Structure 1
Amino acid sequence: MNNPSAGHAGRQPSLAAATLAALGIVFGDIGTSPLYAFRECFAPHGIDPTPLTKGNLVGAASLIVWALILVVSVKYVLIILRLDNRGEGGILALSALIRSAARRLGGKDPKMILLLGLAGSSLIYADGMITPSISVLSAVEGLSVSAPQLSNYVVPLAVVILVGMFSIQRHGTGRVGILFGPIVLLWFLTLGALGLRGVIAHPEVLSAISPTAGITFLIREWHHAFPLLAAVFLAVTGGEALYADLGHFGTRSIRVGWFAVVLPGLVLNYLGQAALLSYDPSALRAPFFLLAPEMLRFPLTILATAAAAIASQALISGAFSLTTQAVQLGCLPRVKIRYTSDHSAGQVYVPSINRFLLVACIVLVVSFKSSTALAGAYGIAIVLTMTITSFLFYSAARAVWGWTKLKAGAVTGLFLAIEIPFLAANSLKIIHGGWLPLVVAGSAMGLMVTWIWGRARLYKRLSREALPVDALLADLKRGSIHRVHGTAVYMSGRGDTVPTALLHNLKHNQVLHEKVVLLHVDTLDQPYAYPCACAKHEDLGSGLHRVSLSFGFAETPDVPEALKTRLPEEVKFHPGKATYFLGRESYGVGKNASALDRIRLAVFAVMARNASPATAYFRLPPGRVVELGAQITL
Structure 2
Amino acid sequence: MADAFVSGTPGAQSGDDGDGHHGHANQKATLKLVVGAIGIVFGDIGTSPLYAFRETFAGHHHLDMDPDHIMGVISLMFWSMMLVVTLKYVSIIMRADNKGEGGSLALLALINASTKTQRWSSGIILLGVFATALFYGDSMITPAVSVLSAVEGLAVYNPAFGPAILPAAIIILLGLFWIQGLGTSKVASLFGPIMLLYFVAIATLGVISIIQTPGILYAFNPYWAFMFFVTDPLPAFLALGAVVLAVTGAEALYADMGHFGRNPIRVSWLAFVLPALMLNYMGQGALLFREGAAALQSPFYNLAPQWAQLPLVGLATMAAIIASQAVISGAFSVTQQAIQLGFMPRLRIEHTSASTAGQIYIPLINWGLMVMVILLVLVFQTSSNLTAAYGIAVTGAMFIDNLLLTVVLYRLWHWKWYYAMPLLSVFFLVDGAYLAANLTKVPDGGWFPLLVGMIIFTLLTTWARGRKLMQDRLRESAMPIPVFVASAANSAVRVPGTAVFMTSAADGVPHALLHNLKHNKVLHERVILLTVKIKDVPVVEDDGRCRLEDLGRGFFRLVLHYGFMQEPDVPAALKNVSGCGQSFKMMDTSFFLARQTLLPSSKPGMAVWREKIFAWMLRNAESAMEFFRLPTNRVVELGSQVEI
Q: Name the TM-score class by shorter chain.
A: over 0.9
Q: Does 1:605 align with 2:615?
A: yes
Q: Secondary structure at the match of 1:285?
A: coil
**Equivalences for residues 44-443 of structure 1 within 5 A:** 45=60, 49-103=62-116, 110-172=121-183, 174-281=185-292, 282-341=294-353, 344-443=356-455
Equivalent position of 1:624 in the other structure: 634
Distance in 2 separating the partners of 1:112 and 1:593: 25
1:415 is displaced (CA, Å) by: 1.2
Identity percentage over the alignment?
Answer: 46
* Deviation by residue 1:49-77 (Cα, 9 ceiling, x = unmatched): 32222222112111111111111111111
* Deviation by residue 1:374-405 (Cα, 9 ceiling, x = unmatched): 11111001101000011101112233323234
* Deviation by residue 1:115-142 (Cα, 9 ceiling, x = unmatched): 1110000000001001110111111111
Residue type of the alignment partner of 2:431: E
Give the conservation status (yes or no) of the 8 Å contact 1:22–1:177: no
Residue type of the alignment partner of 2:46: G
1:22 is displaced (CA, Å) by: 2.3
Give the conservation status (yes or no) of the 8 Å contact 1:25–1:181: yes
Give the conservation status (yes or no) of the 8 Å contact 1:242–1:314: no
Residue type of the alignment partner of 1:578: T
Distance in 2 separating the partners of 1:633 and 1:88: 38
* Deviation by residue 1:215-243 (Cα, 9 ceiling, x = unmatched): 11222221312321111001001111222
Residue type of the alignment partner of 1:553: F
Q: Secondary structure at the match of 2:271?
A: helix
1:570 is displaced (CA, Å) by: 5.7
Residue type of the alignment partner of 2:636: V
Aligned residues: 620
1:532 is displaced (CA, Å) by: 4.8
Q: Does 1:572 align with 2:574?
A: no
Give the conservation status (yes or no) of the 8 Å contact 2:463–2:614: yes
* Deviation by residue 1:92-114 (Cα, 9 ceiling, x = unmatched): 110110011224xx887712111
Distance in 2 separating the partners of 1:422 and 1:31: 20
Give the conservation status (yes or no) of the 8 Å contact 1:27–1:242: yes
Change (3 A) 1:318 1:500: same
Distance in 1 separating the partners of 2:448 and 2:221: 37
Give the conservation status (yes or no) of the 8 Å contact 1:394–1:409: no
Change (3 A) 1:100 1:173: farther
Residue type of the alignment partner of 1:411: L
Q: Does 1:39 align with 2:54?
A: yes
Q: Secondary structure at the match of 1:312?
A: helix
Equivalent position of 1:455 in the other structure: 467
Q: Secondary structure at the match of 2:433?
A: helix
TM-score with structure 2 length normalisation? 0.92
Change (3 A) 1:595 1:456: closer
1:307 is displaced (CA, Å) by: 1.2
1:151 is displaced (CA, Å) by: 0.7
Distance in 2 separating the partners of 1:44 and 1:541: 72
Change (3 A) 1:14 1:426: same
Distance in 1 separating the partners of 2:421 and 2:337: 28
Give the conservation status (yes or no) of the 8 Å contact 1:24–1:176: no
Q: Does 1:615 align with 2:625?
A: yes
Q: Secondary structure at the match of 2:38?
A: helix
Give the conservation status (yes or no) of the 8 Å contact 1:333–1:607: yes
1:180 is displaced (CA, Å) by: 2.0
Residue type of the alignment partner of 1:42: F
1:174 is displaced (CA, Å) by: 4.3
Q: Secondary structure at the match of 2:390?
A: coil
**Equivalences for residues 3-14 of structure 1 within 5 A:** 14=29
Per mean C-alpha deviation after superposition, the further-off stretch among 237-246 and 12-21 is: 12-21
Residue type of the alignment partner of 1:549: L
1:519 is displaced (CA, Å) by: 0.7
Equivalent position of 1:519 in the other structure: 530
Per mean C-alpha deviation after superposition, the further-off stretch among 544-553 and 52-61 is: 52-61
Q: Secondary structure at the match of 1:521?
A: strand
Distance in 1 separating the partners of 2:422 and 2:66: 37
Equivalent position of 2:22 in the other structure: none
1:347 is displaced (CA, Å) by: 3.5
Change (3 A) 1:178 1:385: same
Residue type of the alignment partner of 2:178: S
Equivalent position of 2:12 in the other structure: none
Q: Secondary structure at the match of 2:595?
A: strand
Q: Does 1:29 align with 2:44?
A: yes
Give the conservation status (yes or no) of the 8 Å contact 1:173–1:248: no
Give the conservation status (yes or no) of the 8 Å contact 1:245–1:317: no
Give the conservation status (yes or no) of the 8 Å contact 1:191–1:266: yes
Q: Does 1:19 align with 2:34?
A: yes
Give the conservation status (yes or no) of the 8 Å contact 1:248–1:347: no
Distance in 2 separating the partners of 1:23 and 1:299: 21
Residue type of the alignment partner of 1:353: I
Residue type of the alignment partner of 1:388: I
Distance in 1 separating the partners of 2:535 and 2:419: 29
Q: Secondary structure at the match of 2:607?
A: helix
Give the conservation status (yes or no) of the 8 Å contact 2:43–2:323: yes
Give the conservation status (yes or no) of the 8 Å contact 1:147–1:298: no
1:322 is displaced (CA, Å) by: 1.0
Per mean C-alpha deviation after superposition, the further-off stretch among 210-219 and 336-345 is: 336-345
Change (3 A) 1:496 1:628: same
Q: Which runs of 5+ in 2 are unaligned?
A: 3-24
Equivalent position of 1:633 in the other structure: 643
Q: Secondary structure at the match of 2:575?
A: helix
Give the conservation status (yes or no) of the 8 Å contact 1:146–1:298: yes
Equivalent position of 2:592 in the other structure: 581
Residue type of the alignment partner of 1:603: I
1:146 is displaced (CA, Å) by: 0.6
1:506 is displaced (CA, Å) by: 0.8
Distance in 1 separating the partners of 2:643 and 2:352: 40
